[in-house]
Structure 1
Amino acid sequence: MKVFVYSYREFDEAEWFTHFSKEYGIELGTSPDAPTLENASLAKGYEYISIITTKVDAMLVQRFHDLGVRMISTRTVGYDHIDLDKARELGMQVGNATYSPNCVADYTLMLMLMSLRKMKRIMQRAELNDFSLQGIQGRELPNLTVGVVGTGRIGRSVIRNLTGFGCRILAYDLYENEEAKACATYVNLDTLYAQSDLITLHMPLTNDNFHMINESSISQMKDQVVLINTARGGLIDTKALIENIESGKIGAAGLDVIENEFGMYYFDRKSDILDKRDLYILRGFPNVIVTPHMAFYTDQAISDMVKHSLESCLLVDQGKPNPWNVL
């Protein structure tokens, strides 16, 4: 069995690809570059490819199909970067990869605390030896109601982390979970929006929830609400977010993801002029923290992502049930 790996990183993934490919008897081909129409031919002779969060549009899906690729395995939980409609039309399989939920859950809690304690401004001032107090008074989690939207593995881990702070926890999900019920109260979205001081998002991006945080939903929220997003950028309407930060409706935001981030993150772009005006606006606010899609990035997660991506391909090759199959 052969798997071609795009966006192959020597400094953190290589040891795990070497380890697991030997364990499973998989022959690897690798490229440090993201998949494109120009380099798709590298995958000729490989029925399986492994990618990360780079755009694989309909034309690229078609190209891989024409080269004999049977399956696209993304080393990420999210798979909205792959044109599933085209893959379905061509009969290609698509799989994702799960990893330890603690990495994103821990990072989420960090963004919550940094946002509530105005840490961005504190750190900026400290660099200039400005140790004044005005404008940096924070809030305490035990006094707040936190709304967790999405109670999958990551959402439930966030809820478990929050229980140690003594805050009231509300939850929303289309499918309620008994584990989450032990620590949080399920409510409908309208109630969660209306009663939460802080709202954190933990679900995949779909056509149904695209821009679920928009002008209408924000208008239902408390004044000075704090928004945290470590899931997918498209869950939030960026225009509405910016307008409500400017108006003061939104008190703070911690964003590890933004809309239209494909092709930007995980590259050195410091000398480039980026066509990302919204990113520059968001980073300019003193009460907004923007990080470059790093919540997943731990040693355990990288090992899990590589292992599960290869296992997913192997299970398909063996005709066995594949828990990571999304198409």
Structure 2
Amino acid sequence: MMKQECIMVYNLRDFDERPYFEEYTGEYGLSMVTTAETPTPENATLAQGCRYVNIITTPADRPLLEALYQQGTRYIVTRTIGYDHIDLDAAKELGIRVANTPYGPDGVAEYTILLMLMCLRNMTSIRHRYLGQDFTLKGLIGRELSQMTVGVIGTGRIGTRLISMLTGFGCRTLAYAPHPNAEAKKHAEYVSLETLYRESDLITLHAPANAETTHMINEDALAQMKNGVILVNTGRGALIDTAALLHGLDTGKVGGAGLDVIEEESDLYYYDRREELLHHRDMALLNSYPNVVVTHHMAFYTRQCVETMVRDSVRGIVADIQGLKNPWRVC
């Protein structure tokens, strides 16, 4: 029988995650300490005696990792695909293993198409006008996805699934990735990044955030794109230089944007900030444009994805305890 271990779960949501955590920790004989709080050096004491810590997208920088290490933490798993919010260098130096939890690609791929269609059909303006009881048509004429050339940057699981889904719309699809894959090649033409920028009417981002991709959509990249290009981002906020995007929207270079992620979102998203003064000028500006759709990092949020994230975060811990190969470990 496996020795019982304790998992410290931060940012636990009672309304959707707790039942799955109770199910899977019970199945594997694990105990659990939970809090709705975000992990900080100050509340790292909650993890005392827990070798395993479970977090979401909140930053795990060196001070936090050091504080958790002092409490006995030797493994951190994030209930997300991305793990750029964790200081991997600090984790390696401390001897803390890090894992993530990829979920099925359908939810994000479907949501990406939703944002594409909302941008092409001017849904922000339509909703504003309708709620104001203005039922006129002038200025609301849309475009059809079937007539677009869509550029997909990043052809991992999500980008490849999106490419497959786009076949049903009849659009021309271009793709760029450092490592092309055979599945995506069935339905998309791999091209250089410069060609994708030049020929795409709509560009959607599905790359990880790292040193090479941060601000890949900047002033220089926008200058290479068509006038009126539509940008969609369900990847990571850091992929787009927000200042360059705002300038592109002001000049008309960017004809619209669908953003499920933005820069500096971690202190805002998933918290109730009603009645608070939000110190995020860029978000306020983005929300003021009639041709921009901003949502709060929701593309992943389906029942299937939530269960998968909880289940696999627990399964990775079990693999670590048992000394088995852990497919979710990243360092």
Same-fold status (TM-score > 0.5): yes
The answer to whether residue 143 in structure 2 is matched with residue 139 in structure 1 is yes
Q: What per-residue deviation string (whole Å, max 9, x for no partner) do you get for residues 268-312 of structure 1?
A: 101110110000000000000110111111100000000011111
Match of 1:215 among 216, 219, 227: 219
Match of 1:255 among 255, 259, 267: 259
Alignment match, 1:73 = 77
Alignment match, 1:298 = 302
Deviation at 1:83, TM superposition (A): 1.0
Alignment match, 2:178 = 174
Q: Which moved more, 1:132-141 or 1:106-115?
A: 132-141
**What is the DSSP-based 3-state SS (H/G/I as helix, E as strand, rest coil) of the residue aligned with 2:169?**
coil
TM-score when scaled to structure 2?
A: 0.98
Runs of 4+, deviation exceeding 4 Å: none
Alignment match, 2:105 = 101
What amino acid is the match of 2:33? G
Alignment match, 2:293 = 289
Name the count of aligned residue pairs.
327
What amino acid is the match of 1:301? C
Alignment match, 2:159 = 155
Match of 2:120 among 116, 119, 124: 116
Alignment match, 1:126 = 130
**What is the DSSP-based 3-state SS (H/G/I as helix, E as strand, rest coil) of the residue aligned with 1:164?**
helix
The answer to whether residue 117 in structure 2 is matched with residue 92 in structure 1 is no
Whether the 8 Å CA contact 2:207–2:213 is kept in 1: the answer is: no
Alignment match, 1:318 = 322
Q: What per-residue deviation string (whole Å, max 9, x for no partner) do you get for residues 208-253 of structure 1?
A: 1110000000000001000000010000000000001000000000
Structure 2: how far apart are the matches of 1:155 and 1:4? 33
Q: What per-residue deviation string (whole Å, max 9, x for no partner) do you get for residues 142-171 of structure 1?
A: 111000000111111111111100000001
Q: Which runs of 5+ in 2 are unaligned?
A: none
The answer to whether residue 197 in structure 2 is matched with residue 193 in structure 1 is yes
Deviation at 1:88, TM superposition (A): 1.2
Match of 1:225 among 205, 229, 241: 229
Deviation at 1:133, TM superposition (A): 1.3
The answer to whether residue 96 in structure 2 is matched with residue 57 in structure 1 is no
What amino acid is the match of 1:106? E
Alignment match, 2:168 = 164
Q: What per-residue deviation string (whole Å, max 9, x for no partner) do you get for residues 109-136 of structure 1?
A: 0000000000110111111121111111
Q: What per-residue deviation string (whole Å, max 9, x for no partner) do you get for residues 36-69 of structure 1?
A: 1111001011000000011111100111111111
What amino acid is the match of 2:267? G
Deviation at 1:10, TM superposition (A): 0.6
Structure 1: how far apart are the matches of 2:207 and 2:252? 26
Identity score, percent: 52
Deviation at 1:198, TM superposition (A): 0.3
Match of 1:36 among 28, 37, 40: 40
Structure 1: how far apart are the matches of 2:234 and 2:257? 11
Alignment match, 2:276 = 272
Structure 2: how far apart are the matches of 1:263 and 1:245? 25
Deviation at 1:26, TM superposition (A): 1.3
**What is the DSSP-based 3-state SS (H/G/I as helix, E as strand, rest coil) of the residue aligned with 1:54?**
coil
TM-score when scaled to structure 1?
A: 0.99
What is the RMSD computed on CA atoms of the aligned residues? 0.7
Alignment match, 2:311 = 307
Q: Which runs of 5+ in 1 are unaligned?
A: none
Deviation at 1:84, TM superposition (A): 1.0
What amino acid is the match of 1:109? I
